[in-house]
Structure 1
Amino acid sequence: MAALESHTNLITSLFNTGLTHAQIAYTLQQMNILPCSEMSVRRFCARHGLKRKRQVSDQALERAVAGSIYETGPSYGRKFMTGYLSSMGLHAGEVRVGRILRELHQPYHEFRREGARNLNPVPYHAEYMGHKLHLDQNEKLVMFGVTHVLAVDGYSSKIVAHSTMPVKNNLVIYEEIYRPAVMNHGLWDQVRVDHGREFYLCLYMQEKLSQHRRNLSRPPYLQTTSTRNLRVERLWPEVNNRVNYPLKQALVHLLDQEAVSLEDNLTRFCISNLTCQVSQIGLNRVVQSWNAHRIPGRGIPNELSEDRCLTEVSEELLPCASVVANMYEQDLGSSLTWVSTFGTDPFSSEEDRIHAEQDFAIDYPDMSLLFNHVVNGDHTPFQDALISLMNVTERYV
């Protein structure tokens, strides 16, 4: 205890950053200051009146966790749930959140205990925010007309842009992923993607902006195998477990029951339309939670990315997708697929589409409720909504 007294200011500072007693003891050991145990740090904090300020009561936290379980399903453990609560402005320690998760829903707790963790042992290094930007697509729901695309900063692990679309498309990925990522955070030194052709427009623009980068010694982009696109590949199991697999179960059940057929173009269009909207709700929640949760040994993505990329690009240098696509085709003599659809758009006019959407919204005004049910194992509301959408659509075609 006497040895700790000589480092009062340091320990107080570490405590105020939110580190646990065990983390403080480990930090002191890693800094080669002095060996000490978690109990020694705990006694020191008690002696100096260092107590955690609870920003929310147990009762209020239980209510918040209960509501969040309904929104996120069984796969959010204490770390992800703490991040999800933090993204909504409710801050609580992981230990408290974990205890409430165990007590509040024992079946979900056992489900998480039995689940296997996905670990990536391959070493990875990014020097700063803006060093590497990873882009990748997820096609677990591709047979139902749903593709997710993420952009992740390599240094902070923050998801800086994301989108859900019926079919992966160069113009959509540029407009909804690359362009907003660069406009909101600055220009990355290097973009990393796999060998998919859907990223050609992003790579074309990254090449044109390459002279504006912080470090010109690096190639502006790299195309590697998917297994080497480390930062973003790490995220797909989280998205699959929390979004894609629950929805896929509901849709496969409809196919097994022969309630729908993917051979019909109207059915394909409606399945893609509804599933894209519902899965985007779940993806938004995963992104919010991921960016606000603490990664052991690294920190919180939102905090690690606060410095932004050092190079900012004006909006004039980042034209909209249609302009960049024209530049691409003229410069390279190649053609791009401007619009990608899943199935055939059944509407003959925009007016018919608006009327169908209005009729559907009368019965289903809040799409998030459909996701809430699906992620908690209740497929019926989502399946009923899909059948309803198909019936409404048929009335206007």
Structure 2
Amino acid sequence: MLTGYLASKGVKAGEKRVGSILRDFNPRYHQARCDGARNLNPTPYTAEYMGHKIHMDQNEKLVMFGATHVLAIDGFSSKIVGYATMPVKNNVKIYEDVYRSAVMKYGLWDQVRVDHGREFYLTLFMQENLKAYPHNQERRPYLQTKSTENHTVERMWPEINDRVNYPLKAAMVQLLDQDLLSMEDNTVKYCSSELLCQVSHIGVA
């Protein structure tokens, strides 16, 4: 979060550099985080074949300007199988443009992995209704976990942030600072959202 904030202000700082500064600034908090990470004892991630798990997640770095990304990747190959950008999180658009699009192209996944956001409810409902058709029917059709535990898809966001979100956000913030944009105006807000959704979709694709 801190590196993203610095990037939006035009300051380029690596995660290791920021981490070392935070460690020096508050060593007690840093030690507590390290101890907590060691105590978690995470189970190694496994996906046995393509179609075993599909991971879906959202990115709201540009939400204040009317652009939200939703990404779906296959857990075995880490291939991006579905992607959409929308003004706000929308159950129907996520289902149609991300989940359904991926299923129509690659087939059903045994399990859908998402966080606890309500924007995936329609997708989970459909996955539950189709649970009799996947390759392995002994697995739960979907699993909701904390966003911090959905690491497979989370690893994709740093690259997308660096390549797409941070440059676009920096440009939009600069326009706001120069009073060239007014996000209080609904027409400007709509036009900004339409432009950002199209440009960022090209950047990710």
Q: Specify which of 254, 258, 262 is matched with residue 183 of structure 2.
A: 262
Alpha-carbon shift at residue 187 of structure 1 (Å): 0.6
Report the TM-score, using the length of structure 1 for normalisation: 0.41
Q: What is the letter of the counterpart of residue 232 of structure 1?
A: V
Distance in 2 between residues matched to 1:267 and 1:256, nearest whole Å? 15
- 1:104-115 aligned within 5 A: 115=14
Report the TM-score, using the length of structure 2 for normalisation: 0.79
Q: Deviations along 1:175-198, whole A, 9 cap, x unmatched?
A: 100111111111100000011111
Aligned-partner SS, 2:58: strand
- 1:220-231 aligned within 5 A: 220-231=141-152
Instruction: Check the 8 A contact 1:131/1:190 in 2, yes or no.
Output: yes
Aligned-partner SS, 2:122: helix
Q: CA RMSD in A?
A: 1.5
Where does structure 2 lack aligned partners over 5 or more consecutive residues?
1-11, 17-40
Alpha-carbon shift at residue 256 of structure 1 (Å): 1.0
Aligned-partner SS, 2:132: helix
Q: Percent identity?
A: 66
Q: Is 1:168 aligned with 2:92?
A: no
Q: Is 1:275 aligned with 2:196?
A: yes
Distance in 1 between residues matched to 2:101 and 2:175, nearest whole Å? 37
Corresponding residue number in structure 2 for 1:41: none
Q: Deviations along 1:127-174, whole A, 9 cap, x unmatched?
A: 111111001010000000001111100000000011111111011011
Aligned-partner SS, 2:126: helix
Corresponding residue number in structure 2 for 1:132: 53
- 1:190-339 aligned within 5 A: 190-284=111-205
Instruction: Check the 8 A contact 1:124/1:230 in 2, yes or no.
Output: no
Q: Deviations along 1:71-90, whole A, 9 cap, x unmatched?
A: xxxxxxxxxxxxxxxxxxxx
Q: Specify which of 54, 66, 86 is matched with residue 145 of structure 1.
A: 66
Instruction: Check the 8 A contact 1:147/1:165 in 2, yes or no.
Output: yes
Distance in 1 between residues matched to 2:116 and 2:14, nearest whole Å? 32
Distance in 2 between residues matched to 1:275 and 1:135, nearest whole Å? 21
Aligned structure 1 segments of 4 or more residues deviating by more than 6 angstroms: none
Distance in 2 between residues matched to 1:244 and 1:255, nearest whole Å? 16
Q: Deviations along 1:33-84, whole A, 9 cap, x unmatched?
A: xxxxxxxxxxxxxxxxxxxxxxxxxxxxxxxxxxxxxxxxxxxxxxxxxxxx
Alpha-carbon shift at residue 116 of structure 1 (Å): 4.1
Alpha-carbon shift at residue 208 of structure 1 (Å): 0.5
Where does structure 1 lack aligned partners over 5 or more consecutive residues?
1-110, 285-397
Q: Deviations along 1:334-377, whole A, 9 cap, x unmatched?
A: xxxxxxxxxxxxxxxxxxxxxxxxxxxxxxxxxxxxxxxxxxxx
Instruction: Check the 8 A contact 1:144/1:271 in 2, yes or no.
Output: yes
Q: What is the letter of the counterpart of residue 225 of structure 1?
A: K
Please tell me whether Structure 1 or Structure 2 has the larger radius of gyration of its CA atoms.
Answer: 1
Alpha-carbon shift at residue 215 of structure 1 (Å): 1.3
Distance in 1 between residues matched to 2:151 and 2:105, nearest whole Å? 23
Distance in 1 between residues matched to 2:155 and 2:131, nearest whole Å? 27
Q: What is the letter of the counterpart of residue 267 of structure 1?
A: V
Distance in 1 between residues matched to 2:125 and 2:71, nearest whole Å? 18
Corresponding residue number in structure 1 for 2:100: 179
Q: What is the letter of the counterpart of residue 150 of structure 2?
A: N
Distance in 1 between residues matched to 2:191 and 2:101, nearest whole Å? 28
Alpha-carbon shift at residue 125 of structure 1 (Å): 1.0
Q: Is 1:189 aligned with 2:110?
A: yes
Alpha-carbon shift at residue 254 of structure 1 (Å): 0.8
Alpha-carbon shift at residue 257 of structure 1 (Å): 1.2
